[in-house]
Structure 1
Amino acid sequence: MDIPDTPAVPVEALTALLDGRWAHIREEARKRMAERGLPDTADLTTEQYRAVVFEEMRALAESGYPTTGFAPEYGGAGDPGGSLTAFEMLGFGDLSVMVKAGVQWGLFGGAIEALGTKAHHDAHLRAMMSMDLPGSYAMTEVGHGSDVQNLRTTATFDGDGFVISTPDESARKEYIGNAARDGKLAVVFAQLIVGGERHGVHALLVPLRDEDGAVLPGVRIEDCGPKAGLNGVDNGRIWFDDVRVPRGALLDRYGSVDADGTYHSPIEGDGKRFFTMLGTLIRGRISVAGAAGSAAKKALAIAVRYGERRTQFEHPDTGAEIVVLDYLAHQRKLLPALATSYALHFAQEEMVSALHDLPEDADRRELESRAAGIKAVGTWHTTRTVQACREACGGAGYLMENQLPRIKADTDVFTTFEGDNTVLLQLVAKGLLTGYQQHIGERGMALFIADQFVETVIERTAARGLIERLVNAVTPRDEETDLLDRGWHIKVFEDREKHVLDTLARRLRRAADPDTDAFEVFNDAQDHALRAARVHIDRIVLEAFVAAIERAPSPLLNRVCDLYALANIEQDLDWFLGHGRFTTARAKAVTGAVNALCRALRPHASSLVEAFAIPDRLIAAPIALGDNHTTVSAARVMGSHGKGESGKAVAR
């Protein structure tokens, strides 16, 4: 396939589109983070690293960073979308600082604000924002991570207040950020027991340490110790030995207990109340997805810069050494990942805007599902991309000074915190199946799918109209359609989603039979459920990219979107071939088109990563900061003769 030359786009114009609605927040973050740079933590002990991160937190608090999302009456700006965007930008810096900020102001502070009432807000929000009150978010237990509804820690009302207990070893709080060193107060999730009756999981404020930092009686804390990454975060284990807290310690927006032991809740049913409580904390997953995206962008910026400078082997005709990014294999490593980063960026931006604009009393289920899915897909993308970037930089990419090993270690856990990705995709699949079951009997599959494709939370009427026009314009004969036809891309993604969901629903229908083990039926179809969730999110991400291009038409971004769509299809060619969607010739043509798009985007690779506008003080990798740095770094890797022991260059 021959693709015409694509006109260049000024980097500033790309940055303006990427910065979007909260451009001022992004610019403020770049300025603030560039002034401080990355903390030098390479040779520090774990305790020293934690102390540095704590000071970085103090500096963030003094800068006003944490106030963005909280209510104005407590000194905040009341801008939740701005807060999520500011957190996303922290992903360009030291990721221990980012995670500790997420624990302090996102989870701990967010829980007090979302689950508490005015008394809790008055007592704690200002001190929480200023870092005078470091806190923890104690949800996960060693025996119950994803299964939060069945946590075993108990909070028993005894007439004066609540007694917090860890009944057995499986109920100890595990991997709790801010617990091992700094936390003074924790939001503890426990089974609420009043008058012998259980009311499900609720959150209470439980002191951990006194003003001098000494652990309080009845509280036991153990350091989790060194981790594969993020060692600036003080993760700890917590046990509660009948710790008494006052009645006002209960965060009582959704459940309260009178002095006489009467329980009240505005929501009937423990299950519904539980999911409403967790739904108010949706920001955590959106935050992780955004920060993971920033880490992937930083890795790509380092690898593309290095790939533009590093040469390897002579050209057979000219004798000049070839820049490694001119090799198709190298382009294949980096450019589809770069295209996916762009696609996920626009999906993230759309999701942040949706949460920001959502009325407080609105149904959040569709947005919660979307946040779960994009968090899963986005963090897996980061894990793969950082590894590809490390390999693309060869031996140089293995040096700590070039940041990639640190990014790799620090982001690896993103796939399992704030929700294990596999579990999150099952939640997405469950939501799709619930909608299917509600509609299919009375309305039929076609109308159900139409409903699914009408956004219930995110208003994109103009983009939806565009998408429908593009799909309707596609010729019925796929083999005759241009592989770069955007309508064909959307049609293929939609058709895949419809087919996977329909066949999944038919497989699970057996679970309703009286003699059938419902668990075994679902367990046997679990891989199918995960695929349904994944292709649903893929379609959402593609449509977000299409909507972004509609706002700011660009031939270059059209090509990037082409690469995202076709690379996604190529990864799933076994499904398309196995289900008769493509002929063998069409499948080969898709691979040829991906190669052609990589070649077409090669001249624009630098512009596409520079558009992220990551300050050099945050890039901080010698191989990505100019020829002098590259020469020094290469010499360190290859030795005085530029060769490894085998006589071949070690660095790529």
Structure 2
Amino acid sequence: MTSLTDLLDGRWGAVRRDIRAQVADTKFRDPYGLGVEEHRAQVLEQLHELAGTGRNRLGFPVEYGGGGDIGGSIVSFEMLGFGDLSLMVKAGVQWGLFGGAVQLLGTRPHHERYLRNIMDLQLPGCFAMTETGHGSDVQHLRTTATYDPAAREFVIDTPDVQARKDYIGNAARDGRMAVVFAQLVTGSERRGVHAFVVPSRDEDGNALPGVRIEDCGPKAGLNGVDNGRLTFEQVRVPRDALLNRYGDVAEDGTYTSPIDSDSRRFFTMLGTLVRGRVSVAGSAGSATKRALTIAIRYAERRRQFFRPGDGEEVVVLDYLAHQRKLLPALATTYALHFAQEELVTSLHELQSADEVDEQRQRELESRAAGLKAVATWHATNAIQTAREACGGAGYLSENILPSLKADTDVFTTFEGDNTVLLQLVAKGLLTSYKDHFEDLSPLATARFVAEQFVGAVIERTAARQVVERIVDASPGRDDDDALFDRAWQCKLFEDREAHVLDGVARRLRQATAANAFEVFNDAQDHVLRAGRVHVDRLVLEAFVAAIDRCEDGEAKDLLSRVCDLYVLANVEADRAWFLEHGRLTSSRAKAVTAAVNDLCRELRPHARTLVDAFAIPEQFLAAPILAED
């Protein structure tokens, strides 16, 4: 169904089609059977091939030879997720993290000096943020960059082993320069974390004086990426090594910044680097699509046990239990795809604007954090489900699923630990809540619950406007068929989010200066739930908006049923909450399970159509278990 593929391809359909065409003309080299060093060498070779296509330039400024297409660059990374994920990660390190940091945190002199060489891969680089002792808590990194006014240099130093830069992609083998995040110290005053360009190797690949490089060695997956550790022992770099878009140091050591607050400056700097987090979510989605496509195609041809009376073995996908494994996961994958597309569009428009809209930036960062967490957890669960659905064959490396499982496992903790990211989402929601109800008084809280008002935390996105139109046109039904009423579904997700957020606010209102940590820690499970149900509501709204803009009636009807399955499978998984809080009666909860069963049976004949609509290049599906397809 080409109309379904066109809808999935979305705004950057031309980029997706061009990549598919380029891939079709390139022999795919699977890393199956390669040792670590062979895999690394192959990935570097493919990275150079990728640089030759020009796709790596999409997100960089036109004036330096780039494409000026931020959204297109993220979609390009997302498409790499259909192949060897080591290549996707290494490309992300080089052009997304290393190049992105120079572009977004540096100024014109840095752009003129480095960007062309970064794009051409003449300057392979690293993104040295994470430390052995500090991964999520970036604000308290221990590496220091102390300014020496006499020499007009910064001294980069690793004070102890906990400050060692760890798990750094490109560091162990190929990187020659690193963007190093360190505490800036000038005149004995600390000004918070800033980024510096620090050479790490000479032209011959030897570590430079004062730079100690270690190899992290074999990992559970992504062994084509040369992760390493960097330690700096009084390494001197010139004053202009500071990427100074948000903070600068004069020759005499005077510090200046367009942002007065050290804390606000830090979060502004990190916010500009949100592309990496968005790209990880998209790539996780691609890996999930690949796994489900393999599992569903295999389930359509594999047979097990005889059907009584006709002597025919039953196709595995005809079993409801097998449908329940794969089809709700497929529905969620569709939902997350449309949420990702909406997020990429927002990022593209925001970062392409002449001026930064701080409120929209904060909303974008929150959505990116939440969607990355949900998408990567979904990838972990769905790929495992796909592996199990393929039985012993799914455990063989030649059938791709084991490498997908291993390579995506780390996605839940890099570019932000998922648990921490959901807390960030919840904290943003609570800030919006407090802004709307400043004193959190009992009256305001009661009105909040009574009106089920979530305006304080709902952004006015295009998807939201579609949902409001649908809800406004609804008669507010509550009969047995309400389960399939889109307005009822949307209001159910809104109500859950509002109730959970209100409950968190009530609990945190007990905090004082003396017990703030204990109160927050005791409510942490509640905080994480608030973040999760908020993301679920955003994902549903993006799916609803995608259905609304679908012009093909047949495709629209099919997507509508897929959306029903996404919603009701979500409700079924959270039945305990809905029952405990009186949102579902016991009979309605049973009806939800029956509806999920009915939707699985209804969508079973369309399963192949739904996975084929992803238009994954066939060479990435060349698993022996699908050899007869």
Q: How does 1:146-157 map to 2 (within 5 A)?
A: 146-157=136-147
Give structure 1 regions of 4+ aligned residues with deviation exceeding 3 angstroms: 441-450, 458-462, 478-481
Measure how far apart 1:479 and its partner are: 5.1
Q: How does 1:542-621 map to 2 (within 5 A)?
A: 542-552=540-550, 554-621=556-623
Structure-2 separation of matches of 1:47 and 1:473:
64
How many residues are matched?
611
Task: Name the residue aligned to 1:163.
Answer: 155
Q: How does 1:274-313 map to 2 (within 5 A)?
A: 274-313=266-305
Structure-2 separation of matches of 1:460 and 1:614:
27
* Partner AA of 2:602 in structure 1: A
Structure-2 separation of matches of 1:340 and 1:150:
36
2:412 paired with 1:415: yes
2:95 paired with 1:92: no
Structure-2 separation of matches of 1:461 and 1:140:
36
Task: Name the residue aligned to 1:484.
Answer: 484
User: Does structure 2 retain, via aligned residues, the 8 Å contact 1:436–1:448?
Assistant: no
* Partner AA of 1:436 in structure 2: Y
Task: Name the residue aligned to 1:3.
Answer: none
Q: How does 1:67-82 map to 2 (within 5 A)?
A: 67-82=57-72
Q: Which has the higher contact order (CA 8 A, sep 6+)?
A: 1
Structure-1 separation of matches of 2:465 and 2:50:
39
Structure-2 separation of matches of 1:24 and 1:480:
43
User: Does structure 2 retain, via aligned residues, the 8 Å contact 1:303–1:624?
Assistant: no
Structure-2 separation of matches of 1:313 and 1:426:
47
Task: Name the residue aligned to 1:468.
Answer: 471
Task: Name the residue aligned to 1:218.
Answer: 210
TM-score (norm. length: structure 2): 0.95
| 348 and 255 in structure 1: CA distance in 2 versus 1, 3 angstrom threshold | same
| 459 and 597 in structure 1: CA distance in 2 versus 1, 3 angstrom threshold | closer
Structure-1 separation of matches of 2:578 and 2:600:
22
Measure how far apart 1:199 and its partner are: 0.2
Q: 314, 326, 334: which is aligned to 2:326?
A: 334
User: Does structure 2 retain, via aligned residues, the 8 Å contact 1:289–1:374?
Assistant: yes
| 519 and 448 in structure 1: CA distance in 2 versus 1, 3 angstrom threshold | farther
Measure how far apart 1:625 and its partner are: 3.6
Of all paired residues, the percent bearing the same amino acid is 65
* Partner AA of 1:297 in structure 2: K
Q: Aligned-residue CA RMSD in angstroms?
A: 1.4
| 284 and 564 in structure 1: CA distance in 2 versus 1, 3 angstrom threshold | same
User: Does structure 1 retain, via aligned residues, the 8 Å contact 2:153–2:236?
Assistant: yes
Task: Name the residue aligned to 1:33.
Answer: 23
Q: 440, 445, 455: which is aligned to 1:451?
A: 455
Measure how far apart 1:454 and its partner are: 4.4
2:365 paired with 1:368: yes
* Partner AA of 1:373 in structure 2: G
Measure how far apart 1:412 and its partner are: 0.4
1:571-611 CA distance string (max 9 Å, x none) = 00011111121111111110000000000000000000000
Measure how far apart 1:452 and its partner are: 3.4
Structure-2 separation of matches of 1:208 and 1:626:
50
Task: Name the residue aligned to 1:106.
Answer: 96
Task: Name the residue aligned to 2:430.
Answer: 433
* Partner AA of 2:471 in structure 1: E
* Partner AA of 2:265 in structure 1: R
Structure-1 separation of matches of 2:25 and 2:392:
30
Measure how far apart 1:41 and its partner are: 2.2
User: Does structure 2 retain, via aligned residues, the 8 Å contact 1:479–1:586?
Assistant: no
* Partner AA of 2:416 in structure 1: G
User: Does structure 1 retain, via aligned residues, the 8 Å contact 2:30–2:84?
Assistant: no
Task: Name the residue aligned to 2:388.
Answer: 391
Structure-2 separation of matches of 1:625 and 1:452:
53
| 442 and 529 in structure 1: CA distance in 2 versus 1, 3 angstrom threshold | closer
Structure-1 separation of matches of 2:26 and 2:262:
47
1:163-207 CA distance string (max 9 Å, x none) = 000001100000000000000000000000001000000000000
* Partner AA of 2:428 in structure 1: G
Measure how far apart 1:29 and its partner are: 1.3
2:523 paired with 1:525: yes
Structure-2 separation of matches of 1:448 and 1:142:
44
The answer for unaligned runs of 5 or more in structure 1 is: 1-10, 628-652
Task: Name the residue aligned to 1:238.
Answer: 230
Structure-2 separation of matches of 1:41 and 1:591:
42
TM-score (norm. length: structure 1): 0.92
Measure how far apart 1:111 and its partner are: 0.2
Task: Name the residue aligned to 1:8.
Answer: none
| 100 and 41 in structure 1: CA distance in 2 versus 1, 3 angstrom threshold | same
2:267 paired with 1:267: no
